[in-house]
A and B are shown apart, each in its own frame.
Chain A
Amino acid sequence: MGVPNIVDGDTKRCIGMELKKLFLKANNELENTNGRAKSRKISCKTCQKKLTVEEIRANSFVCPACGYYFPVRARRRILMLTDKRSFHEMDRELVSKNVLEFPEYEEKLQQAMEKSRENEGVICGVATIQGQRVCLFSMDSNFMMGSMGAVVGEKITRIFEYATVEHLPVLGITVSGGARMQEGMLSLMQMSKVSQAVKRHSKAGNLYVVLLTNPTTGGVDASFAMLGDITLAEPGARVGFAGPRVIEKSLNQALPKNFQMSERVLECGFIDAIVPRNQQKEYLGKILKLHARLGEEYRMEEDHVSTGK
């Protein structure tokens, strides 16, 4: 059975933490709170309005003037969506190696670690949302564009395997440019590795909810981001397989404005609902509650069904 290590080493892997401490060092303009930073002004990328960090945070990282969605780092996402102090991180210690000896990869990893203050591009663990237990993974665009290398694939696979054994739902918050080139085929085949773990989790009757955020593209779009039972997205998030510039260049034509925007992808039939940031926690809580009740009733029967092990 493909659940190595995780169950036995559980307590060692679970690092309960006060999330706020980790934000103090974060290295981007919205998260860096050295001293007076809360009153520091940042201009909105879309409407150019000058806003204080405090204002932006108070409004769920959405511009109060024009509705622009500021990028949110992985750990902040977890903080925004889960119950206070309920998150226990798993597999935080896993770090990438330059297996292929790809030029400049170590430097890039180093920079990514400094920028994101994370060991890798995804954070995994268990938490509660409105009292409902859920496994989750949250990707980080500050870590090499949220690209998926072997460690990202491994961590997400482990969380699905853990959730399968524990009969827990999984919430995935995706943001990614796709597979990580610097790890070659080891990276591409993480798509296969994660997808098969998602399939086993699903076959065992467990719920998987995806929240697509801007951007979710490439190999992540073509694997676990598209395999949810329920697929949600943030407004205006780019969701697609091929990069828009690649398509534009090969077709030699301008793309429609709404191309690969979550609203359009919903029209095309690939998203269940678009959920504004300030409503996401409540929305997810409801979904989990709806499934928790079913889960209890079915649990007895389920034990007789193969869990795909």
Chain B
Amino acid sequence: MFRQASKPQDDYQVVLGARGENRSTAKDYIQSMISDFMEFHGDRYYGEDEAIIAGIGFLGDLPITVIGIEKGKDTNERIRHNFGSAHPEGYRKALRLMKQAEKFHRPVLCLVDTAGAYCGIDAEERGQGRAIADNLAEMADLKTPMISVVIGEGGSGGALALSHTDRIWMMEDAYFSVVSPESCANILWKSTEKADVAAKALGLTANRLYEMGLIEKICRKGKMKELSENLKKEFRLLLAKSVEELLEERYQRFRKIGY
């Protein structure tokens, strides 16, 4: 299962690479892995947040729900998708569609790629914290298999809100971190110059996180077919479990972390 990243890279370079403009975004993954994808909109409370694209489609012959954080490709798209930083509506839309997936016992695939949840007055006042908290608590109890794949940036709570899943996988060139290395360096050492030191210390690469047992799989970049095959296999495995087993294992997956 474990694959070594193709060459040892400076951890900070991984972060910069994960933010790179020419990377595949959630849309690319959906396009190449999901057939008959239909996108659905809105959180049913307040609005539609295009930072998150969500809908249903087929993974092979398996109907699934897909929820992806989308950054956009060009300037116009990036603005429309808010550079992949979701408001509370985005997380609530995601949760709505996860609940729908639960109803039809359809597996859920989350594609995570965000620098973080959006920081703004409106986002705060519509309950950014509550929206993320709700996702964590509700996903813990969602009676259908879920896998999240960090395809680029795994920026803190905003990424975690789509990662309370049975499996967390990462692309070999993605990162997942409690804080951006720049903020970390700025807070601790009053200097963003030391972002590379922070990146190393934070242990944010797929390899480090795999070693620590925080993720289940490292996926080779650019191999969408392979990823799609692996997802099909894993979903089948998870679907074979009883709901009780699934939820208990999901609980234990997070329960053992850190202590």
Contacts and interface: CB of A to CB of B under 8 A. Distances in A.
A242 B127 CA distance: 11
B130 A226 contact: yes
Contact of B157 (A154, A218, A225): A218
A154 B259 contact: yes
B251 interface: yes
Interface string B183-200: 110011000000001000
B259 A94 contact: yes
A17 interface: no
B126 interface: yes
A258 to B, nearest CB: 10
Contacts of B130: 222, 226, 270
B201 A192 contact: no
B83 to A, nearest CB: 11
Nearest to B130: A226
B7 interface: no
A229 to B, nearest CB: 12
A157 interface: yes
A129 to B, nearest CB: 25
Tell me what chain B mostly uses at the interface: helix, strand, loop, or mixed.
helix
A196 B259 contact: no
A62 interface: no
A2 B255 contact: yes
Contacts of A268: 125-127
Interface residues of A, number: 64
B93 interface: no
Contacts of A270: 127, 130
A209 to B, nearest CB: 16
Contacts of A240: 124, 128-129
Contacts of B156: 179, 188, 219
A153 interface: yes
Contacts of B138: 199
A196 B133 contact: no
B126 A189 contact: no
Contact of A199 (B129, B141, B176, B202): B141
A250 B180 CA distance: 15
B119 interface: yes
A100 to B, nearest CB: 5
Nearest to A155: B259
Contact of A241 (B132, B188, B203, B252): B132
Contacts of A198: 137
A191 B160 contact: yes
B124 A187 contact: no
A47 B11 CA distance: 48
B129 A196 contact: no
A240 B258 CA distance: 25
Nearest to B91: A222
B166 to A, nearest CB: 12
B224 interface: no
Size category of the binding interface on chain B: 35 or more
B201 A196 contact: no
Nearest to A104: B188
B257 interface: yes
Given A181-B184, A199-B140, A224 B133 contact: yes
Given A192-B160, A270-B127, A183 B121 contact: no
Given A219-B157, A222-B133, A268-B126, A184 B203 contact: yes
Contact of A193 (B120, B184, B258): B258
A103 interface: yes
A221 B161 CA distance: 13
Contact of B124 (A154, A218, A219, A259): A259
B254 A186 contact: no
Contacts of A181: 178-179, 184, 187-188, 202
A256 interface: yes
B93 to A, nearest CB: 17
Given A226-B129, A227-B137, A268-B126, A196 B254 contact: yes
A239 B179 CA distance: 19
B203 A2 contact: no
A151 interface: yes
20 contacts: A1-B248, A2-B255, A94-B259, A100-B202, A104-B188, A154-B258, A184-B178, A191-B160, A195-B164, A196-B140, A197-B255, A219-B156, A221-B129, A222-B128, A222-B133, A223-B133, A225-B129, A227-B134, A269-B127, A270-B130
List of 6 A-B pairs having minimum Cβ-Cβ separation, nearest first: A150-B258, A196-B140, A242-B119, A195-B136, A221-B129, A154-B259
Given A191-B160, A193-B254, 17 more contacts: A153-B257, A179-B179, A183-B258, A185-B177, A188-B178, A189-B254, A191-B157, A196-B140, A196-B141, A221-B133, A223-B133, A241-B123, A241-B124, A247-B121, A259-B124, A264-B125, A268-B127
Interface of A: 1-2, 94, 99-104, 149-151, 153-154, 157, 179-193, 195-200, 202-203, 218-219, 221-227, 239-242, 246-247, 250-251, 255-256, 259-260, 264, 268-270, 308
